[in-house]
Chain A
């Protein structure tokens, strides 16, 4: 029996879909059988992050409505045989599915897969209700900004009200330079304010934009810092104790390169 994890945030645009694609891929790279589920009906994006947009025939709504079987809607990843995508409909809205139908769907997936990662839409309405319906655990994504942290707190309250007590926090888009100057909330500030366990710290990384352009999650790029942070998150999800990344940026420029040659740590 697999584990279903919903990736949620309250506030939009903080990195839920990026997180879902990267964690799903990283868990598959670690040998798990994984399915990533797009629960953002009407605004689907997860297919783009994985570069699978041209392979979609059926979707989640078709499965729920009985137009096709679950197996027919699952799309196998290009790179990893043990990674699948369950896309959603782009031309329907969130009321096309009920929480009960979603719960049933996730329960069916749990029989086939080790991990089911669900990409939740922004907000606290119907789409949120659907995305969390079948979940055993939740990952709350936030960024170091007051509005995102406030919304994360609201979501944590909502999850607890539903009895979803197994929730952990991912802080995305940390800019080390700014936290060092005291101009951005740091990790301690946020874990202090939000009563939730920390699962990962993802640095701001241009490689995220590049990998989204290409449809290849950053975890497949050895040199991406965000990718490395997401690979660590995947190992923590599997129960491994992994120390948090040192966010100190590598010094750049010629002088720094020379320093690096002479002062190898």
Chain B
């Protein structure tokens, strides 16, 4: 027996499968390409840059599902690290 596994209480593989499936299906159902996300990303940078200096390398945008349980409606979530607000943006 693998003692390490025994003590660490590994997540059951079916839970891993379920989480992965949920995410895959959001992408499949929304039918979005990586190019689409890149385009959105570019536009967001352009718009926000008028108001704030953003850390482009840290910008993250992804498709997830809305709410905690909802599997049906996809949600676009963006994490935009701001370096500094621009003067007139306040």
Contacts and interface: CB of A to CB of B under 8 A. Distances in A.
Q: Do A and B bind each other?
A: yes
Interface of A: 145-146, 149-150, 153-154, 157, 179, 181-186, 189, 192-193, 195
Contacts of A189: 14, 17-18
Interface stretch (B21-29, B39-47, B50-58, B76-84): B21-29
Contacts of B14: 179, 182-186, 189
Contact of B21 (A149, A154, A157, A179): A149
Given A146-B20, A149-B21, 17 more contacts: A146-B24, A150-B24, A150-B28, A157-B28, A157-B29, A179-B14, A181-B12, A182-B13, A182-B14, A185-B14, A185-B17, A185-B18, A189-B14, A192-B71, A193-B22, A193-B25, A195-B71
A153 B20 CA distance: 14
Contacts of A153: 25, 28-29
A193 B15 contact: no
Contacts, number: 42
Main SS at interface, chain A: helix
Main SS at interface, chain B: helix
Contacts of B71: 192-193, 195
A21 B9 CA distance: 43
Contacts of A183: 12-14
A146 B23 CA distance: 12
Nearest to A193: B21
B29 to A, nearest CB: 7
A154 B29 CA distance: 8
Q: Which of B17, B22, B28 has the most CB of A within 10 A?
A: B17
Contacts of B72: 195
A216 to B, nearest CB: 34
